Structure 1
Amino acid sequence: MICPVLMCFLLCVASGSSKPTERKTRVHHEEPLSQLEHSDDKNFDYDHEAFLGQNQAKTFDHLSPEESKRRLSIIVDKIDENKDSFVSEEELKLWIKNAQKKHIYESVEHQWNDFDLNNDGSITWEEYRNVTYGSYLDDPLTDTEYNYTHMMWRDERRFRVADRNGDLIADKEEFTAFLHPEDYEHMNDVVVQETIEDIDKNGDGFIDLKEYIGDMYTAENDDEEPEWVSTERQQFSEFRDKNNDGKMDKEETLDWILPADYDHAEAEAKHLLYESDTNKDGKLTKEEILNKYDLFVGSQVTDFGEALLRHDEF
């Protein structure tokens, strides 16, 4: 059985339930540009979400080609920061990064009011704890298979790391770091700590090969091991365990879950540039981008596309 090791588990709200939310809080990798498969042979959905952000990509899905091009033209003018009539790879990368940040901030805004109980513009640890674990705190002796005491302790530890000034009161930026620690360098240590704690079954503070594979795959009966598992064993030996001592320490685990040498936004910018740069001069004109509008934003020919409410920027 395959476990969801390559997914990023985000915090969920436990409001009004009979017990705290049953959730996994471990962060495995940097927040992806899209949860969709990146396969241009099938569709450009990944590229749309990476370029526009997930929410705006859904809006474009219901627009006519003409309206998609009109809106994309306005976006191109915004991407071209130096106003030289070209879009460079760096400008594309910056735009994609900002689109993803906007998605994260919208996620935080969506949850903010659930936790800011007194509407004072900040969230204390007590407010977060009471909303998330209130029912458990009211009746901690209830039989349950979940160790909510441990979950609460882990959340408090992460909250304290996100809280830069140590007052146990989170402003928007600190709460964003708490919910999305993979995007904040000062949260790296706690992200690594959570990862090791979840995978390290023998409690030695490291992740060995058996634990690494066991977090992704559990054999059932006499099932033949999938080929990808053998590939992961090789990955562990050749790339994960850099000092060849048979296990991953904190630094090696950090390189695994938050690799410093790979930038999702940069990779996507290179991809969009390569696919659209007709004259191969290393930069894009508005015409080149509009000619490949289906790659950047997509659209569907619908009867109601033009009737959709338009955002102010369009």
Structure 2
Amino acid sequence: MLLKSLASLCLLAATAFAVPAQEKRVHHHADLSDHAHNDGEGFQYDHDAFLGKEEAKTFDQLTPEESKDRLGKIVGRIDLDKDGFINHSELHYWIKHRQRRYIEENVNKHWDDYDKNQDDKIAWGEYKNTTYGFYLGEEFDDIEDKDTYKSMLARDERRFKVADRDSDGIATREEFTAFLHPEEFDYMKDLVVQETIEDIDKNGDGKISLSEYIGDMYTPEEGENEPEWVQTEKKHFTDLRDTNKDGLMDFNEVSNWILPGEVDHADNEASHLIHATDTDKDAKITKKEILANWNMFVGSRATNYGEDLTKSHDEL
């Protein structure tokens, strides 16, 4: 039971206690696609950004006629003021909406696993019992690394309490979303920094040294020469991360590292799509202009764009 529960926990709340690779510690908003943004090689990035990654896979299976028909219906939803034009603000809002859908669908997919009494809320007890099971009563005594699991439980409880804004011990959908995806919520960001420090800080002084910083991403093999990129990371630590030059990264320095100014991918993509399809250069696009460039916005099995078209049904 514990292994099954922990598998679900790791899937849903991996950032709670899993130690990600160094390059994934920086919490940018998720990019819009796993594909490179290179229109010269295809429009898969644009498809993912405009439709959402999962919906883009569906469109890849449609004929051009079906794709254009569905695209026409989507255009009507994007045109919020119903003036017949889609401006940058409307397209930006739509793309951000598709981003948010991923997180909402992730929460909804697993909601019933935790909401045992089906009251559309998740109490801390429901989450704890579902995740850790009857091993709680034994204080993990039968688990080889029981101290790790005790630490995981304590860390989950702390995060749950921070996400629980009204402190009633019960998470609404929004609060549970903050628990699972804390980097998406401003009021959770101090906790994200704290958890990052705890992951890397091996001597428990509340700060990150150069050796701890490097050790989080690189453990040399015996006789191995240090890779060049490690030297580069050491220089980044000294020149960029440790701003007060005391040899350590404190809370504020870690925050500046993992929570930098965000790149608004949705804003950039909205500008890109309008620039590429606005034939009369009025800074707005019409349904006609969009349908004339339908293969930039959506895919189909006849376009030959994107790696997904070469995959089997099972892979998709």
Bin for the TM-score computed over the shorter chain = 0.7 to 0.9
1:207-235 deviations in Å (ceiling 9; x for gaps): 23332333233333444444444444444
The separation in 1 between residues aligned to 2:198 and 2:113, in whole angstroms, is: 29
The answer for the alignment partner of 1:309 in structure 2 is none
- Does residue 144 of the first structure (1) align with residue 144 of the second (2)? yes
Paired amino acid for 2:6 = P
Aligned match of 1:53: 52
TM-score (norm 2): 0.80
Find the aligned partners of 2:2 and 2:125 in 1 and give their Cα distance. Answer: 16
Query: Aligned runs of 1:74-85 on 2, under 5 Å?
Result: 74-85=73-84
Contact 1:76/1:286 (8 A) holds in 2: yes
Structure 2 contact 2–132 (Cα < 8 Å) conserved: no
Aligned to 1:11: none
Alignment correspondent of 2:106: 107
1:174 paired to 2:160 = no
Contact 2:32 2:99 in 1 (8 A): no
Structure-to-structure mapping, 1:203-242, within 5 angstroms: 203-242=204-243
2:15 paired residue among 25, 45, 48: 25
* Inter-CA distance 69–112: structure 2 relative to 1 (3 Å threshold): same
Unpaired stretches in structure 1, ≥5 consecutive residues? 1-14, 303-314
**Is the CA contact (8 Å cut-off) linking 1:65 and 1:300 kept in structure 2?**
yes
User: What is the aligned partner in structure 2 of residue 197 from structure 1?
Assistant: 198
Across the aligned residues of Structure 1 and Structure 2, the Cα RMSD in angstroms comes to 2.7
Q: Equivalents in 2 of 1:118, 1:229: separation in Å?
A: 51
Q: Give the aligned partner of residue 287 of structure 1.
A: 288
Q: Please, which runs of 5 or more residues in structure 2 have no aligned partner?
A: 304-316
CA contact (8 A) 1:158 1:178 kept: yes
Q: Using the alignment, how far apart are the partners of 1:237 and 1:283 within structure 2?
A: 46
Cα distance in 2 for partners of 1:93, 1:30 equals 18
Residues 143 and 252 (structure 1 numbering): CA distance in 2 closer, same or farther, change over 3 Å? same
Q: Does 1:116 align with 2:106?
A: no
**Contact 2:5/2:132, CA 8 A, preserved across alignment:** yes
How far is 1:268 from its partner?
2.8
Contact 1:38 1:44 survives alignment (8 Å): no
Relative to its length, the structure with more helix (as a share) is 2
**Identity percentage of aligned residues:** 52
CA-to-partner distance for each residue in 1:131-176, whole Å, 9 max, x for gaps? 0011431441114236110001000000001101101111111111
CA distance in structure 2 between the aligned counterparts of 1:116 and 1:18, rounded to whole angstroms: 17
Q: Which amino acid in structure 2 is aligned with residue 32 of structure 1?
A: A
Compute the displacement of 1:102 (Å): 1.6
**C-alpha distance in 2 between matches for 1:241 and 1:288:** 50
